[in-house]
């Protein structure tokens, strides 16, 4: 079943009375957009040049630069690391694939790494929990 004949007639009349479109009719906006884009690019380049010419330790208004304010001029360096055993449990005997008896152990650690900024003596401590499961072969004699 096709479309209703009244609909076909109406669409035919609309197409016949519609103004002819030129292929490049919508290009007139391009003459406005291109100069606007060029102006934005020039402002961006000028801003980048002014920022590069400013002293490295100051920003406009006398505020210290972000790198200086966050003490990132001298990077943090690791100065200490430790692994602390928090808990250990024996999960009993297990048999390996080749039939060898082994003991399964579950160990829980907290790893602590301390970082220090040598310039400012600021420090950062990073603690990460870690779990190990060990299977240790056992020999009965």
Look at residues 104, 91, 90 and name the one whose alpha carbon lies nearest to residue 137. Answer: 104
Across the chain, mean pLDDT equals 77
Indicate if 96 and 44 belong to the same structural domain: no
Mean pLDDT score, 9-25: 70
49 within domain boundaries = yes
**pLDDT tens across 64-78, in order?**
444 455 544 558 888
Beta-carbon contacts of 80 under 8 Å, excluding residues fewer than 6 positions away, are 112, 113, 114
Beta-carbon contacts of 125 under 8 Å, excluding residues fewer than 6 positions away, are 112, 113, 114, 115
Q: What is the pTM of this model?
A: 0.42
- Which range marks the domain in which residue 90 is found? 74-137
**pLDDT tens across 43-92, in order?**
767 777 776 665 554 444 444 444 455 544 558 888 999 999 999 999 99
Are 87 and 108 in contact by the 8 Å Cβ rule? The answer is yes
Indicate if 85 and 119 belong to the same structural domain: yes
14 within domain boundaries = no
């Amino acid at each position: 079943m096709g479309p209703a004949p009244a609909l076909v007639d109406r669409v035919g009349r609309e197409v016949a009375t519609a103004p002819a479109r030129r292929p490049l009719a919508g290009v007139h906006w391009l003459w406005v957009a291109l100069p606007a884009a060029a102006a934005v690019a020039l402002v961006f380049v000028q801003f980048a040049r002014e920022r590069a010419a400013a002293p490295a330790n100051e920003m406009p208004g006398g505020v210290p630069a972000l790198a200086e304010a966050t003490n990132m001029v001298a990077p943090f360096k690791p100065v200490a690391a430790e692994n602390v055993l928090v808990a250990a449990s024996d999960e009993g005997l297990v048999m390996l694939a080749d039939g060898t008896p082994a003991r399964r152990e579950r160990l829980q650690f907290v790893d602590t790494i301390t970082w220090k900024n040598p310039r400012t003596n600021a420090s950062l401590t990073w603690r990460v929990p870690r779990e190990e499961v060990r299977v240790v072969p056992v020999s009965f004699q």
